[in-house]
Amino acid sequence: MCFVNETDYGTPAVRSDKTVTLTIDGREITAPEGTSIMRAAREAGIVVPKLCASDMVKAFGSCRLCLVEIEGRGGTPASCTTPVADGLNVSTQTDRLQSIRRGVMELYMSDHPEDCPACAAGDCEMTAMAETVGLKEIRYGREGANHIWPAHDGGANPLFMEQDVSNPYFAYDASQCIVCSLCVRACEEQQGTFALTVEGRGFESRISAGMHEPFLESECVSCGACVQACPTGALREKSVIEMGMPDRSVVTTCAYCGVGCSFKAEMQGEEVVRMVPYKGGKANRGHSCVKGRFAYGYTTHKDRILNPMVREKITDPWREVTWEEAYAHVANEFRRIQYQYGKGAVGGITSSRCTNEETYLVQKLVRQGFGNNNVDTCARVCHSPTGYGLKTTFGTSAGTQDFDSIEHADVVMVIGANPTDAHPVFASRMKKRLREGAKLIVVDPRRIDLVRMPHVEASHHLPLRPGTNVAVLTALAHVIVSEGLMNETFIRERCDWDEFQDWASFVLQPENSPEAVETVSGVPAETIRAAARLYATGGNAAIYYGLGVTEHSQGSTTVMAIANLAMATGNIGRPGVGVNPLRGQNNVQGSCDMGSFPHELPGYRHISEEATRAIYESLWGVKLDDEPGLRINNMLDAAVEGSFKALYIQGEDILQSDPNTKHVAAGLEAMECVVVHDLFLNETANYAHVFLPGSTFLEKDGTFTNAERRINLVRKVMEPKCGYADWEVTQEIARAIGKDWNYQHPSEIMAEIAATTPSFSGVTYDLLEREGSVQWPCNEKAPTGTPVMHMDGFVRGKGKFIRTAYLATDEKSGPRFPLLLTTGRILSQYNVGAQTRRTDNVMWHGEDLLEIHPFDAENRGIRSGDWVKLASRSGETSLRAKITDRVAPGVVYTTFHHPDTQANVVTTEYADWATGCPEYKVTAVQVSPSNGPTEWQREYEEHSRRSRRVVQVEAAE
C-alpha cells in the first residue's frame, strides 16, 4: 500500500526575491539567495549524505558528512551551512569526499551499538548512511571508550546512561545518540520550549532533558518534535518499539483542537503505529502537540461502546439492540412525541467534533425531517459571540487571517487566550515570531505562560479583573483616539466616517479613560496607555483571542471592541494583522458554518430570508419554518416546562460542557427520548434512552474547518469499529422517519453544501485533494480560497464602528462570595476530557486543581494539596488547591477536564446578551477548607454508576 514519503531538503526554505545560479555536479541550478548548497542540490534531485541537518531546523554543521568541494575554494565546506552563490562550481561526489565521509561514519559506528534494534527495524539512518558512503568495516572496533555498554573493563561504565522511559510515549536511549543536536534544535526552534541541552563536552557529551532530569519531570511538553528529528534510534516512539515500523500511511487531520494540524497516520493494517505531523499541512507545517501526535489511544479504548443500546427509563440498565431496532425505536419515539406534543417538541444538537458533512446532515435532519429549526451546537458555549460580533462589524462570522500571517506581525496582542496550552502548535509559531523580535501584549487575569518564558517576555501584561474586558479595550481605544494614533486614511476609505465619529466621541467620554478604568479593572492606567501606544504604532498589529473574551455576559460586545481597535488603527486586510479567534474544538468553525444555529441556514444566512429558504425548500422538497428554533438553553427550559420532549445529540456531552449542570440534568430528565450518539457513555448518556455508537476521526471520511477557516480533509484509515460512520447513522435515522436520503460518500454531502452555500460554492473533494486544503470563501471570485479576508474592503461594505459601553456583569463578588472564579484548560487535556482522560496524557494532569493566590489561601488556612470546597450562588464542588501567584489576589482559577470535579455545578446561568453564550469566565465564589467530595459529587457518582449498567444479550445460538 502507499506510504506518504516527504522529502527532507536538509535546510529550511529561504524567502528571497533574488536568485543565484550555480553549478552542482555539472548541472546548472538556480535557487533563492541564502539557500544552502545542500537544499539547492536536493531540490534539483541531488542527494548529499547528511546526519545532522533537517529542513525543519537551522543547520548546525556538526556531523561533517555533507562535505562538498567547491572549485577555487580550499578545503571541504559543509553543504548544509554554506550558502549558494553566483557562479560556484560544486562537486558532491568525489573520491576524496567519499573517503572523508567513510572516515566520519567509521568513527560514528565505532560508538554505536552493533545490535541496535532501531537499525534492525529500519528506524535509524546510521546504517543507511554507512551504506551510502560505502563503509564496509569498522577498524577501531567498539572496545575503546564508549557509550554502549553498561559495564566496561570489569567496572561500571561512567559514560553509560540508563534508558529514560519516563515519558509514556517515547523513550530515550543515550547509547544510540550521536549528539547531532537535531533534537535540541527542534525543541528550541520548532516547539520553542528549550527543554533539551547538550551536556558535557566532546566525546563525553550527551543530550539531557532539563537539569539532567527524566523527560517526564523536565519542562518537556511531549510534543514529539525531537523524536521525529532524531536520525538514530536514540529517541523513539514507544509504539514503534513495540509494534515495529508502519507499512502504509494516510494524510489526515487532527480531531482535537481548532489548530487543525495535518498528520500522516502511519499504519500497520488496521492499527495506528504512530501519527507524524505532515509538513504539507498549511496549519501546522510539520509540527504538532502531545495530543495530536500521541493521544490517540482513546480511539481503541475498551470503554468504547460498539453496539446500539436502548432503555425505557433512565433508571433501567441498558439493553443492547440491533441497529435496525435502534433506528426503529428512535423513529417511533420521535413520531409519537411530535404527534402528541407538537412538531416543535423535538430537536437536535450538532457536534463541533464531528465533520462538516455530519453536522450538515444533523441540521438537515432537524429542518427537513423534524420540520422545525430546533438545532443548536455546543459552539454556542464558546464562540457564538465571535460570529455575532464580527458579522456586525466586518460582515463575516470568522477570523480574518491564516496562521502564516503571524510571520508578518510586529505586535501581537493576546486577549483571554492561553495559546501554549489550548492551541500549542499555533503558539509555537507565535513564539518563533516573538523570538524574532515581535512585541507581545497579554490581556488576561492570569499570568499565562506566554507572559514570561524562555526567550519570550511580554512587553505589557494587563492582569484585569475577570469581567472587565470591555472596559479595558474601550480604554485602549480612548488612548488611541485621544492621542491621535488612529489611521485616518484607512478609516475614511474603509469605514463609515460618521459612525467612526460617533464612536470616537463615545470612547473619549471620561468614564472610558484609563484612569477611570483602572478603578474597575485593576489595571494601572499607565499600562493601558503603553499597551495602546504599542498596538497602534508598533507596525503590523494582530489580535488573537480566546474563550476569555467570548464566555462573558458582554462577550459579543468585547468582540466588537476588538474589531473597533483593528479598524481604528488600520490593522485589517493584509498579512500580519487582523482579528483572530482561537477556536476551542477542532470543528467549531465548521459546525457554525454548517447551519448549526437555530436561526441560521448554512453560510450564516438568517432563516427569515425567503430566497435562502427557497433554495433548500426546492432541494429538500419541504416547506421550512421561517421562525428561529430553540437554543440548547431554551430546549432545556422548554423541557422543564413540558413542551420539549426529545433530543438527538451527536458527539457532544452537554451535561458537562454546558453551564449549570443541575439545570441541564433537570431538562434532560424531563424528556421522553434522549438519543446520545457518541464514542463513550458520556455524562449526558446518564440521562439517555437510546445510545448510538459513534466513530472516531480515524474511521471516516469528511472535512474539518479550523480556526483559520481552512477546510482540511479527514481520511478514513480504518473501518469504523461499530460498523458505521456517524454520517451513515444520521442518514439511517432520516430514512427511518421516511426521508429519502442516499449519500454514498461524504463528498456527495459536500457537493450539496457547495451547491447551496455561496461561500462554499467552489469546494469539492477533488479541489481539496489537489490543494491539500482551502480557506473559505472559496467560489468563482476566489477559486482556491481566501487566506486573508477584507483585503479590498469589508465583506459588509463599510466597516462598522460600534459603541461598546461597559456594563458590569450581574455576577458580582460580595461578602458571601468574595472571590472571582475563572476557568480555562491545559495542554495535555482537551475539553471535558472524554478522549484525553482515556490516554496516558493523564500522567500530566490527573485532576483539576484550584489555583489560589498565597494571600487568599493564607486567610483561609489553605495549603497546597488540601481539599477545598468551592461554592457559588448556584452550587458547590470540591477539589484540591494549588497555591500560586499566577492568579491575582481575589481571583481563583480552575480547569474543567474531569467529570468528578463538575466545575460547572458552580458556574451560573448568566450569559452573553446577544448569543446566550454562558459566562464561564466570571463566577463569584467562596473557597473554604473541606474534607473531600461534596454530597452532590457523591450522589452524582452513584447515579452515574447506576445508569451505566449494560445487560448483554446472549448470542442467539
Residues forming contacts to ligand FES in the complex (CB under 6 A) are: 50-53, 61-66, 78, 80
- Name all contacts of 751-755 with Cβ < 8 Å and 24+ positions apart: 752/360, 752/619, 753/356, 753/357, 753/360, 753/594, 753/602, 755/619
Total count of residues recorded for the chain: 957
Q: How far is CA 325 from the centre of its chain?
A: 37
* Contacts within 8 Å (CB) and 24+ apart, 11-15: 11/35, 11/36, 11/38, 11/39, 11/53, 11/55, 11/58, 11/59, 11/80, 12/55, 12/56, 12/57, 12/58, 13/39, 13/55, 14/39
- For ligand SF4, the binding residues in 411-440 under the rule CB under 6 A are 424-425
8 Å CB contact between 223 and 669:
no
Per CB under 8 A, the list member of 629, 694, 746, 762 interacting with other proteins is 629
Site string for other proteins, 13-52 (x = CB under 8 A): ----------------------------------------
Q: Which of other proteins, ligand FES, ligand SF4, none sits in contact with 53, Cβ below 5 to 8 A by type? A: ligand FES
Grid cell 454562558 in the structure block, residue: 918
What is the 8-class DSSP label of residue 115?
T
The span of 190-198, 313-321, 518-526, 610-618 binding ligand SF4 (CB under 6 A) equals 190-198
Write out the binding residues for ligand SF4, residues 195-214 only, by CB under 6 A.
195-196, 209
- Using CB distances below 5 to 8 A depending on partner kind, what does residue 292 bind out of ligand FES, ligand SF4, other proteins, none? ligand SF4
Cα angle 834, 839, 841 (rounded to 5 degrees) comes to 100
Q: Name the one range near ligand SF4 by CB under 6 A: 29-37, 249-257, 360-368, 737-745.
A: 249-257
Instruction: Using CB under 6 A, pick the residue from 11, 288, 377, 756 that binds ligand SF4.
Output: 288
In this chain, which of 10, 231, 246, 292 binds ligand SF4, going by CB under 6 A? Answer: 292
Residues 596 and 355: beta-carbon distance below 8 Å: no
Asked if residue 160 binds other proteins (CB under 8 A), the reply is: no
- Under the binding rule (CB under 6 A), the answer on residue 475 touching ligand SF4 is no
Which residue lies nearer to other proteins by CB, 282 or 380? Answer: 380
Q: In terms of CB distance, is 41 or 778 closer to ligand FES?
A: 41
Rounded to 5 degrees, φ, ψ at 650 are -100, 120
Q: How far apart are CA 81 and CA 70, in angstroms?
A: 13
CA 345 – CA 365 distance, rounded (Å)? 14
Compute how many other C-beta atoms are within 10 angstroms of the C-beta atom of residue 510: 8
> What does residue 70 show for φ and ψ, rounded to 5 degrees?
-120, 125
Q: Which residues make Cβ contacts (< 8 Å) with residue 825, sequence separation at least 6?
A: 418, 421, 422, 584, 831, 895, 896, 897
- As given in the structure block, the three cell numbers for residue 791 are 483585503
Measuring CA to CA, which residue among 688, 664, 666, 691 is closest to residue 680?
691
C-alpha 42/C-alpha 21 separation (Å) is: 15
How far apart are CB 135 and ligand FES at their closest, in Å? 16
Does residue 769 bind other proteins (CB under 8 A)? no
Residue 187 as a binder of ligand SF4 (CB under 6 A): the answer is yes
* 948 near other proteins (CB under 8 A): no
When asked if residue 186 is in the footprint of ligand SF4 (CB under 6 A), the reply is yes
Does residue 681 interact with ligand SF4 by CB under 6 A? no
Residue type for position 633: N
Does residue number 230 form part of the binding site for ligand SF4 (CB under 6 A)?
A: no
Least CB distance to ligand SF4 at residue 28 (A): 39
> Can you list the pairs that 157-161 forms with residues at least 24 positions away whose Cβ atoms lie under 8 Å?
159/204, 161/206
Least spacing, CB of residue 874 vs other proteins, in Å = 3
Of 43-51, 193-201, 296-304, 755-763, the segment contacting ligand SF4 by CB under 6 A is 193-201
Which partner from the list ligand FES, other proteins, ligand SF4, none does 802 bind, CB cut-off 5 to 8 Å by kind? other proteins
Tell me which of ligand SF4, other proteins, ligand FES, none is bound by residue 606, counting a contact when its beta carbon lies within the kind-specific cut-off of 5 to 8 angstroms: other proteins
Question: Considering the rule CB under 6 A, would residue 289 count as an interface residue with ligand SF4?
Answer: yes
Asked if residue 835 lies in contact with residue 864, where contact means CB atoms within 8 angstroms, the answer is: no
Among 260, 385, 463, 548, binds ligand SF4 (CB under 6 A): 260
**Residue of 68, 84, 223, 832 interacting with ligand SF4 (CB under 6 A):** 223
Q: Would you count residue 256 as binding ligand SF4 (CB under 6 A)?
A: yes
356: part of which helix (H) or strand (E)?
Answer: helix 356-364
Closest CB 69 distance from ligand FES, rounded Å: 14
By beta-carbon proximity to ligand SF4, the closer residue of 133 and 425 is: 425
Give the residue, chosen from 254, 477, 778, 852, that forms a contact with ligand SF4 under the rule CB under 6 A: 254
Q: Which residues share a beta bridge with 481?
A: none
Is residue 796 close enough to count as binding other proteins by CB under 8 A? no
CA 295/CA 237 separation, integer angstroms: 12
Percentages (nearest 5) of helix, strand, coil residues in the chain: 35, 20, 45
51/413 with CB nearer ligand FES = 51
Q: Which of residues 905-924 bind other proteins (CB under 8 A)?
A: 908-909, 911, 913-916
Nearer of residues 292 and 575 to ligand SF4, judged by Cβ: 292
Q: Is 182 in the site for ligand SF4 (CB under 6 A)?
A: no
Instruction: Decide: helix, strand or coil at residue 118.
Output: helix
Between 129 and 406, CB nearer to ligand FES = 129
166 is a contact residue toward other proteins (CB under 8 A): no
Instruction: Assess 191 for contact with ligand SF4 (CB under 6 A).
Output: yes
Q: How far is it, in rounded angstroms, from Cα 69 to Cα 84?
A: 13
Q: Which of 29, 119, 221, 354 binds ligand SF4 (CB under 6 A)?
A: 221
Decide if 543 contacts 578 (C-beta within 8 A): yes
Q: Residue 11 or 878: which CB sits closer to other proteins?
A: 878
Number of residues that bind other proteins (CB under 8 A): 43
3-state secondary structure of 736: helix
For residue 507, the minimal CB distance to other proteins (Å) is 13
Site size for ligand SF4, by CB under 6 A?
A: 27
Residue carrying the nine cell digits 548541472: 27
Candidates 16-24, 246-254, 637-645, 768-776 — which segment interacts with other proteins by CB under 8 A? 637-645
CA-angle at 110, arms to 108 and 112, nearest 5°: 70
Interacting residues with other proteins (CB under 8 A): 341-345, 373, 553-554, 557, 598-599, 606, 608, 627-631, 634, 637-638, 640-641, 643, 660, 662-663, 802-805, 807, 872-875, 908-909, 911, 913-916
Interacting residues with ligand SF4 (CB under 6 A): 186-187, 191, 193, 195-196, 209, 220-226, 254, 256-257, 259-261, 284, 288-289, 291-292, 424-425
